[in-house]
Structure 1
Amino acid sequence: NDNYPETVAVMLWGLDAIKTRGESIGILLELVGAEPVKEGTGRIVRYELKTLAEVGHPRIDILGNLSGIFRDSFVNIIELLDDLFQRAATADEPVEQNFIRKHALALQAQGIENISARLFSNPAGDFGSLVNDRVVDSNWESADELGDTWQGRNVFSYGRQDKGQARPEILQELLKGCDRIVQEIDSVEYGLTDIQEYYANTGGLKLAAEKQRGKKVSASFVESFSKDTTPRKLEDLLRMEYRTKLLNPKWAEAMANQGSGGAYEISQRMTALIGWGGTANFADNWVYDGAAETYALDAEMAQKLREANPEAFRNIIGRMLEANGRGLWEADEEKLQKLRELYDVADEKIEGVSRFG
């Protein structure tokens, strides 16, 4: 059915699931066409497949990407979901109405084991995609490297049988078929541009899927804290966040007035901006132009940040120069020269030989 994606990646994060009482799992169940069955105490004992007539759409296949906290905190839920995927894969239903079965049969034909494995995470006992480590250290040459890093860290399958078994063939096939990613955001406290985890995981998955598919993969976010839960596109959400936070004069002033901690927060967001450039090719010139004007080329602001936290200020400037070097930002030579001078001044201050005393 051309109207429906065959495979959707769903991000399952632990703290989000706890705070929303499992709304991200609800998204997954709706795609598969299933519902929870509870015992008398209210405990979920099974996820039951609804009939195709009840579902109203084909069963969508799932690539479930588990955060380390979700993986370790919800072992019972993971096993119930794994059981659901196995039953969906063996359901007596036409493959054009059950994409889980369709893809499981294709995997079986390749001689692959555990063909209904759909839940992937980092190695057992370990956390993170390491994409953010590479971005923070500026240790990457191409976007492909970041996608490969994500994929290499997420080939580990979890369920009733698998407890971190590497199943790269299944992950690769799921990525090849994945044409969209869905993630729930549970609060306004931390958005996509505030911390490194979003680009490192969601952005990393997007990049890995695009490499396998050979074309763009869309990412949509459901803001469960809002009355309007219409899925929002990644690019639209990034632009909205940059307007309301990083480039918002009131936000910038509030951060600058918080001293060292505020400068650090600005610095973190500049690093995340590079991360989204690397993983989602986000390269809107106006964002970098605005950041440069706000935090670097405004002499009063630059001095305030430099004095409050020289390391953070150096990173803010350094990320702007890095963005230009990576082709994410087109800036004129005069502006770049000014930024280089500011970087050198920050460097000198950190080394204790600042001409500003």
Structure 2
Amino acid sequence: MQGLIDERCWENTSDLAEAYVNWGGYAYGAPAQSDDNINNNQTIGIEGVELRSIFQHRLSQLEVVAHNQDNREHDILDSDDYYQFQGGMTNAVSVFSDTTPVVYHNDHSNPSAPKTRTLKEELNRVIRSRVLNPKWITAMREHGYKGAFEMAASVDYLFAYDATTNMVDDYQYQKVADALIFDPENKTFMEDNNPQALEEMAERLLEATQRGLWNNDNGYGEKLQDLLLDIDAQQEGVDVGMSVDVGVSVDVGVSVKNND
């Protein structure tokens, strides 16, 4: 799904569910029933056999999605793997069963005291303790270009988790925008060290408003558009004080967030 998210070439959650099944609908290991033979109990040897319809059927029957993490070297907003597998499965279950599964994150970093949280609780914890943590932000600034890249990556994965699970709140988008984009000190750092990362973060958050993931943006959509206009003008060598007759939009489909 990373390609769809990166290139913004999806219109709704069904597109993401289809991608999840297309890439994950293969079976390996002991003999199992094939798509064609499932009704007459014939079996085949399994070596990467395509069984997408069976996989989709299994997904439609799930009620709970759980992910186990056995270390604290990284978190769920550190890598695209987490949202692609956990978020991807959650979204696929929602699409194919027309119900929302319960989603858990199991923390086994301390085997003697494992902790189970809902995915929403884990997202809240990571956003609060790392992404919005001034100590983490300051530490990332010490790494220049790479630090700015890590900030932008966290925004990407936050957006992708919301696209697949609908679990990021509007106020969290606003706090992320305030801390990483509109904070004067961090904005200057981004402009000096990795302006592309600043632009990518602004585009991703603007996309969240356009897709209805960030519903009540309190005017942040307009602020993000203004920022992108300024960035574009600087890239083109235009005086940002001049009136530039252009508009800014991110080329996305329409996916309305369901808050029921």
TM-score (ref. length: structure 1): 0.59
- Aligned residue number for residue 251 of structure 2: none
Pairwise CA distance, 1:300: 2.2
Write the distance in 2 (CA, Å) between the matches of 1:355 and 1:255. 30
CA deviation vs aligned residue, 1:125-176 (integer Å, no higher than 9, x gap)? xxxxxx1111111221111111111011111110132111111232122112
1:159 to 29, 39, 55: 29
Could you tell me how far 1:231 is from its partner in structure 2?
Answer: 2.0
Aligned positions of 1:236-251 closer than 5 A: 236-251=121-136
Cα shift at 1:352: 5.7
Question: The residue matched to 1:231 in structure 2 has which SS?
Answer: strand
Shift of 1:308: 0.6
**Alignment match, 1:311:** 196
Q: In 1, are the aligned partners of 2:108 and 2:115 still within 8 Å (CA)?
A: no
Between the aligned partners of 1:195 and 1:311, the Cα distance in structure 2 is 19
Residue 213 of structure 1 is aligned with which of 97, 118, 133?
A: 97
The within-5 A match list for 1:317-356 is 317-329=202-214, 330-333=216-219, 335-349=220-234, 351=235, 353=237
**In structure 1, what is the equivalent of residue 159 of structure 2?**
274
Figure out how many residues of one structure are paired with residues of the other and give that number: 224
Is 1:296–1:339's contact at 8 Å kept on the other side of the alignment? Answer: no
Check the 8 A contact 1:172/1:212 in 2, yes or no. Answer: yes
In structure 1, what is the equivalent of residue 4 of structure 2?
Answer: 134
Which of 175, 180, 190 aligns to 2:74? It is 190
Q: Distance in 2 between matches of 1:261 and 1:352?
A: 25
* Structure 1 residue aligned with 2:84: 200
User: Could you tell me whether the CA contact under 8 Å between 2:104 and 2:119 is conserved in 1?
Assistant: yes
Q: Deviations over 1:63-100 (max 9, x none)?
A: xxxxxxxxxxxxxxxxxxxxxxxxxxxxxxxxxxxxxx
Task: Output the CA distance in 1 between the equivalents of 2:184 and 2:227.
Answer: 10
Distance 1:213 1:322, change over 3 A: same
1:355 CA displacement? 5.0
The amino acid of 1:134's aligned partner reads L
Asked if structure 2 preserves the Cα contact closer than 8 Å seen for 1:247 and 1:287, the reply is no
Asked if the contact 1:178–1:217 (Cα under 8 Å) also holds between the matched residues in 2, the reply is yes
Deviation at 1:257, TM superposition (A): 3.0
Instruction: Give the distance between the partners of 2:52 and 2:102, measured in 1 at CA.
Output: 22
Task: Write the distance in 2 (CA, Å) between the matches of 1:220 and 1:193.
Answer: 15
8 Å CA contact retained: 1:220, 1:234: yes
In structure 2, C-alpha distance between the alignment counterparts of 1:251 and 1:355, rounded to whole Å = 34
C-alpha distance in 1 between matches for 2:233 and 2:46: 53
Q: Percent identity?
A: 25
Contact 1:314 1:347 in 2 (8 A): no
Counterparts of 1:84-123 in structure 2 under 5 Å? none
Asked which structure has the greater RCO (Cα within 8 Å, sep 6+), the reply is 2
Question: In structure 2, the residue corresponding to 1:188 is in which secondary structure?
Answer: coil
Letter in 2 for 1:137: E
| Per-residue deviation, residues 24-79 of structure 1 (Å, max 9, x unmatched) | xxxxxxxxxxxxxxxxxxxxxxxxxxxxxxxxxxxxxxxxxxxxxxxxxxxxxxxx
Helix, strand or coil at the partner of 2:168? coil
In structure 2, runs of 5+ residues without a counterpart are 31-44, 241-260
- 1:354 deviation in Å? 6.5
Name the SS for the 1:192 alignment partner: coil
1:344 positional shift: 2.3
1:183: how far off? 1.8
Is 2:117 the counterpart of 1:232? yes
Q: CA RMSD in A?
A: 1.7
Counterpart of 2:156, as a letter, is: T
Give the letter aligned to residue 98 of structure 2.
G
Matches of 2:192 and 2:229, distance apart in 1: 14
Letter in 1 for 2:231: A
Inter-partner Cα distance in structure 2 for 1:337 and 1:143: 26
3-state SS, counterpart of residue 9 of structure 2: coil
Q: Is the 8 A contact 1:185 1:223 kept in 2?
A: yes
Q: Distance in 2 between matches of 1:208 and 1:299?
A: 40
Find the residue that maps to 2:72 and give its secondary structure.
coil
Aligned partners of 1:201 and 1:136: how far apart in 2?
A: 16
